[in-house]
């Protein structure tokens, strides 16, 4: 029997380090308290399975559909809502509420807003958009001349044509639309957290490294690990390589104060073997990939652990808003 430590302990050990020695910080907008470290890294050998964490159940359906949403370059949450994935609901609602009084729109509860997105196509087209979200940045980066750059397709082509390339990078961090750097009224209202990734071929295997500037270790990171590991596997399939490593590099990685007890509960659990993923041979390009092409097998996990999600980041009105006309 192998004495090799289960790779999930990288995540659990990082969470313990945050609890033990994280720097206490307070969000300037919400007052939420976190404990953070800077410049950490974990890495997963995808030959050992998909690192879908097992010490608590991870929302696989959300991982799969959100990744497809990105890969297909979509910017409207209606696809997610129609597939009962609600992880991005708060941001279009925030934009709606910011503009509601000025535009004379009715006040809506979150439930009413999402119901309208689901049932009213005109409403969804008008209010479901998240411009400059990851999918647009990956597949249609806005150019100064009004056109777009398909960064991800360029990466696929580059890897196929030159396996030794060092420039297969997809960037989501566009200062023109971020924070106080943006023109009035053009700032993103959601956080660009996983801001760039690079694909590299090593020993005949396709590897991917993500740089994530800001990472919620308890709620967000398990989702991000699974999503970008699956992305690595899909890109390997399309380019004809075997999946290698997913490397997750963090800028500020943190745990929220109100997640500490849940984290302690998770850390006493023993990991199970990672599940296996099968991707259909029908997947030959970015554009013909569909969620149904992915089969997850043998996923065994402990029970979910609930925690409150913080809707922060992106556009801090206290710091970045200059006047009401910018909304």
For 71-114, what is each residue's pLDDT tens digit?
999 999 999 999 999 999 999 999 999 999 999 999 999 999 99
Give the tens place of pLDDT for each residue, 164-190.
999 999 999 887 777 778 777 767 767
Give the tens place of pLDDT for each residue, 228-253.
999 999 999 999 999 999 999 999 99
For residue 325, the model assigns a pLDDT of 30
For residue 297, the model assigns a pLDDT of 96
CATH topology (fold) of 8-72+132-321: Thymidylate Synthase; Chain A (3.30.572)
CA gap 169, 161 in Å, rounded: 15
For residue 131, the model assigns a pLDDT of 86
For residue 321, the model assigns a pLDDT of 46
For residue 181, the model assigns a pLDDT of 80
CA gap 286, 310 in Å, rounded: 32
* pLDDT above 70 (res 314): no
For residue 313, the model assigns a pLDDT of 53
* pLDDT above 90 (res 118): yes
CA gap 32, 46 in Å, rounded: 35
* Of 165, 169, 245, the residue nearest 205 (C-alpha): 245
Residue whose tokens read 């050992």: 48
For residue 28, the model assigns a pLDDT of 82
For residue 189, the model assigns a pLDDT of 67
Contacts (Cβ under 8 Å, ≥6 apart) of 301: 52, 53, 54, 55, 56, 57, 58, 272
Give the tens place of pLDDT for each residue, 141-163.
999 899 999 999 999 999 999 99
Sorting pLDDT into bands at 50, 70 and 90, what band is 276?
very high
CA gap 78, 242 in Å, rounded: 34
Give the tens place of pLDDT for each residue, 192-215.
899 999 999 999 999 999 999 999
Residue whose tokens read 């192998």: 2
* Of 240, 246, 319, 321, the residue nearest 279 (C-alpha): 240
Candidates 165, 188, 193, 207; catalytic one? 193
| Mean pLDDT computed over 117-121 | 97
For residue 324, the model assigns a pLDDT of 30
For residue 320, the model assigns a pLDDT of 42
Residue % of the chain over a pLDDT of 90: 82
Contacts (Cβ under 8 Å, ≥6 apart) of 260: 19
Give the tens place of pLDDT for each residue, 289-303.
999 999 999 999 999
Give domain limits for the chain: 8-72+132-321, 76-130
Active site (annotated) includes residue 165 = no
Query: CB–CB of 305/266 below 8 Å?
Result: yes
């Amino acid at each position: 029997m192998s004495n090799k430590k289960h790779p999930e302990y990288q995540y659990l050990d990082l969470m313990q380090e945050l609890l033990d020695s994280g720097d206490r910080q307070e969000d300037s907008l919400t007052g939420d308290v976190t404990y953070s470290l800077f410049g950490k890294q974990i890495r997963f050998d995808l030959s050992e399975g998909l690192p879908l964490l097992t010490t608590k159940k991870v929302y696989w359906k959300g991982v799969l559909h959100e990744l497809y949403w990105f890969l297909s370059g979509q910017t409207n949450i209606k696809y997610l809502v129609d597939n009962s994935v609600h992880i991005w609901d708060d941001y279009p609602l925030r934009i709606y509420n910011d503009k509601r009084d000025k535009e004379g729109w009715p006040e809506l509860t979150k439930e009413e807003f999402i119901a309208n997105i689901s049932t009213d196509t005109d409403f969804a087209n008008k209010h479901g958009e998240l411009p400059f979200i990851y999918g647009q940045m990956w597949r249609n980066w806005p150019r100064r001349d009004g056109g777009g750059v398909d960064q991800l397709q360029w990466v696929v082509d580059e890897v196929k044509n030159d396996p030794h390339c060092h420039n297969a990078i997809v960037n989501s961090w566009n200062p023109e639309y971020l924070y106080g750097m943006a023109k009035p009224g053009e700032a993103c209202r959601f956080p660009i957290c996983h801001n760039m990734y690079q694909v590299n071929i090593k020993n005949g295997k396709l590897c991917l490294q993500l740089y994530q500037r800001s990472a919620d270790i308890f709620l967000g990171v398990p989702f991000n690990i699974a999503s970008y590991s699956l992305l690595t596997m899909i890109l390997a399939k399309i380019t004809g390589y075997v999946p290698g490593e997913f490397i997750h590099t963090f800028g500020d990685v943190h745990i929220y104060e109100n997640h500490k007890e849940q984290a302690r509960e998770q850390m006493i659990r023993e990991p199970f073997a990672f599940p296996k993923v099968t991707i259909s041979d029908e997947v030959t390009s970015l554009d013909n990939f569909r969620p149904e092409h992915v089969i997850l097998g043998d996923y065994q996990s402990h029970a979910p652990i609930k925690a409150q999600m913080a809707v922060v980041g992106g556009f801090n009105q206290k710091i970045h808003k200059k006047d009401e006309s910018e909304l």
